[in-house]
Amino acid sequence: MKEMIRVEKLNKSFGDLHVLKDIDLTVNESDVMCLVGASGSGKSTLLRCLNFLEIKDNGKVIFEGKQIEPKKDNLNEVRQQVGMVFQHFNLFPHKTVLENVIEAPMMVKKIEKKQAIEEGKELLDKVGLGDKYDVYPAKLSGGQKQRVAIARALAMKPKIMLFDEPTSALDPELVGEVLETMKKLAKEGMTMIVVTHEMGFAKEVADYTVYMHDGRIVERGPSNELFDNPKEQRTKDFLSKVL
Amino acid sequence: MIVGGVFSIEIFFSELIRTYPFFLEAAWLTLRITLAAVLLGTVIGVVVALIKLSGPVLKVFADIYITIIRGTPLIVQIFVLYFGFSQVIQLSPFWSASLALAVHNSAYIAEIFRGAIQSIDKGQMEAGRSLGMTSSLTMRRIIMPQAMRRAVPPLGNQFIIALKDSSLAAFVAIGELFRTAQGIAAGTFNTMETYLIVALYYLVLVMVFTWIVNRIEHRLSVSER
Ligand SMILES: Nc1ncnc2c1ncn2[C@@H]1O[C@H](COP(=O)(O)OP(=O)(O)OP(=O)(O)O)[C@@H](O)[C@H]1O
Ligand SMILES: [Mg+2]
């Protein structure tokens, strides 16, 4: 199995606040990993360290066998290969759905407009928004927005996708369509790290789940096991609270 | 003179008709000063805003610039440029007035842009960066277009102020609207009528300006509807 991303002894602080403590983590190609934990436990920060929206204090981030050093490596090139989907979508409101999707391929990868449009439309068709190319984000439902955001990230042909609570901001009836899209992506073999509290999704789609508490990884294991038979007391406490 | 009181409606209308060739030409000059000032002022303003947002070191310079420009009267700035700099470089009255007005407005415009840029959600920059866009590319393609839209209403307001402030150019002998009114009033002694006529010209210009700004605002809001 090919290793996609590995984290060794990763630490991150904001001022005096030590948010990530000696995180070790390996995600192989085509793995889907779910990340759960209480608010403030450092899940978002961990994801953001993986695509260098936050810069680690120390430790290693190794991407496809190559250690990434923020000072030496071109982080923009790394980020092109690490897609990210945000809780609040962060679509570009002044651009249509299709323009949102083709922006980065055209401006960063210098792909020709015609080709970018073709690929963009294909992606939008895939996430079920084939009829929304020319609509502005403001006109979309939350679920549709998040699917555009997924298509936008996919347009850069990333090797791994990071999802930070992609369904938390959605009305309950819209959660399903986004999870469905993510499930499809997982089936196609996309490597994914997903911060979510959707246990059903985790159990069905994720190869394993990691539980974080207070900046540390407390427990990890196959999703069914972690949710149904947690070993650590803290995991049990957490699960009994959220589920 | 005194018999007719301070204001005569007949004189007002006859003067309005008699003076319109002078005032139209003067209005055109007022417009040119204003346009030169707001275009240049916007360019300087955007640069100063970006400098101010670029980091703590350069921010100091932008802050000093804004403080000095906002803290001194426009008329003083015009005189500094026209009379003060005359030994170094002799600017034409038109350009001293336009430049002074541009610099003066740039400080306010810089603050308008800074506010507009800062009002854009942080998630926009993050989304751009997460797609591999550099921060300057994200700034140019994602943040600025949105900030520009937000800046339109306050900018329109600032442009209207600039239009009216251009009347101060009269003091460096430019035959714009106000100077023209002064000349006519001094020649005819129809003081009240003449200044009310010039007020009317300013009012119409401001109303046209306002209408244009509203149209632009309406156009730009398409994506939010
Ligand atoms: N840029 C920042 N500056 C200072 N503190 C931060 C910053 N980002 C996060 N934190 C703090 O770091 C801690 C971990 O935050 P993080 O967002 O990673 O948690 P989380 O597990 O994602 O929580 P949630 O479920 O609420 O999203 C929190 O205490 C948060 O306040
Ligand atoms: Mg979070």
N-terminal to C-terminal alpha carbon distance within chain A: 33
Tell me if ipTM is over 0.85: yes
Residue written as token pair 């436990």:
A41
Whether residue B27 lies inside any domain: the answer is yes
- CB contact at 8 A, A144 and A132: yes
For residue A41 and ligand 1, the question of a CB distance below 6 A is answered with yes
Tens of pLDDT, residues B52-67:
998 899 999 999 999 9
Residue written as token pair 């002074």:
B100
Spell out the per-residue pLDDT of chain A, length 243, in tens. 899 999 999 999 999 999 999 999 999 999 999 999 999 999 999 999 999 999 999 999 999 999 999 999 999 999 999 999 999 999 999 999 999 999 999 999 999 999 999 999 999 999 999 999 999 999 999 999 999 999 999 999 999 999 999 999 999 999 999 999 999 999 999 999 999 988 889 999 999 999 999 999 999 999 999 999 999 999 999 998 876
- Rounded to an integer, the average pLDDT of B135-150 is 94
For the CA of A195, the closest atom of ligand 1 is 22
d(CA B43, CA A75): 31
Range of the domain at B169: 9-223
Whether residue B3 lies inside any domain: the answer is no
Q: What is the pLDDT of residue A199?
A: 87
Using CB atoms, pick whichever of B133, B149, B225 lies closest to residue A104.
Answer: B133
Whether residue B2 lies inside any domain: the answer is no
- CB contact, 8 Å: B125 with chain A? no
Whether residue B86 lies inside any domain: the answer is yes
- Domain count within chain B: 1
Distance of CA A229 to the CA centre of its chain: 26
> What's the gap in Å between B133 CA and the centre of ligand 2?
23
Tens of pLDDT, residues B74-99:
999 988 888 888 778 888 888 888 99
> What string of DSSP letters covers A121-148?
HHHHHHTT-TT-TT--GGGS-HHHHHHH
pTM (two decimals): 0.87
| CATH number, residue B164 | 1.10.3720.10
Tens of pLDDT, residues A40-73:
999 999 999 999 999 999 999 999 999 999 999 9
Residues across chain A = 243
Sequence letter at residue A190: M
For residue A37 and ligand 1, the question of a CB distance below 6 A is answered with yes
> What string of DSSP letters covers A80-137?
HTEEEE-TT----TTS-HHHHHHHHHHHTS---HHHHHHHHHHHHHHTT-TT-TT--G
Using CB atoms, pick whichever of A76, A94, A136 lies closest to residue B132.
Answer: A76
Q: Is the pLDDT of residue B182 over 80?
A: yes
